[in-house]
Amino acid sequence: MTKLSVNINKIATIRNARGGSIPNVTEAAIRCQKFGAQGITVHPRPDERHIRYQDVRDIRPIITTEFNIEGYPSQRFLDLVLEVKPHQATLVPDSHDVITSNQGWNVIKYEKFLRDVIVELQQNGIRTSLFIETDLEQIERAAATGTNRIELYTEPYATKYPVDPEKAVGPYIRAAKKAAETGLELNAGHDLSLENLRYFKQHVPGLLEVSIGHALISDALYYGLERTIQLYLEQIS
């Protein structure tokens, strides 16, 4: 079974554009779960331009499914994660000024750093996942860090899918098989949508979780949040 974790960053982006508390991100998280989402994802960034650190604290008590916090493992981020203790921490290599995540970890370069972070998180009962590309050597080294999972960065798949779906998904099939060989569990995320999600799910083995935000929240403007979540669940069922 593949779970759907809804990233609610864009809800916070809309709120922050006007100030105040509308739309309310905690209420959004409650409703996403009510409508069938099997997890909630947030990605607080240093400038708090969408999800704020206080949002993370406010959301934690109402999570009835799974809470996934993404981010670069700065000391401030790690302090927050250790405070709220999500079910999963997804570590991403974002620099402070990127608009959105745009690359996976160079695990070969940062292996010791990542291993130390992962040990601390796991000692506190938090499952870890590394945001990574489809390079097979990087996946092998990711296993050496002790992480529980990897999250495959799927923007390259989404970009190539309209032209040649088979070619687009090929590297992800190979990456998934390599992950399984090395004992890693598998997540995926970034630019997955109603247009490309079903094909990805059908072809990539062992996919446990997809984290989707921008496309899902955008679709909710047309279909409504409840119907949109049901549409996404249909793609992975």
- Supply the residues annotated as catalytic: 43, 70, 190
Q: Please name the amino acid found at residue 108.
A: I
Give the start-to-end residue ranges of the domains of the chain: 3-236
Q: Cα(237)–Cα(218) distance, rounded to whole angstroms?
A: 21
Question: CB within 8 A of 8, min separation 6: which ones?
Answer: 25, 28, 29, 32, 40, 41, 42, 51, 213, 217
Q: Cα(29)–Cα(223) distance, rounded to whole angstroms?
A: 18
> Is CATH 3.20.20.70 correct for 3-236?
yes
Dump pLDDT digits (tens) for 51-67: 999 999 999 999 999 99
Q: Cα(228)–Cα(108) distance, rounded to whole angstroms?
A: 39
Cis before 162 (ω within 30): no
Query: Tokens 């999600």 appear where?
Result: 197
pLDDT at 37: 98
pLDDT at 107: 95
pLDDT at 104: 86
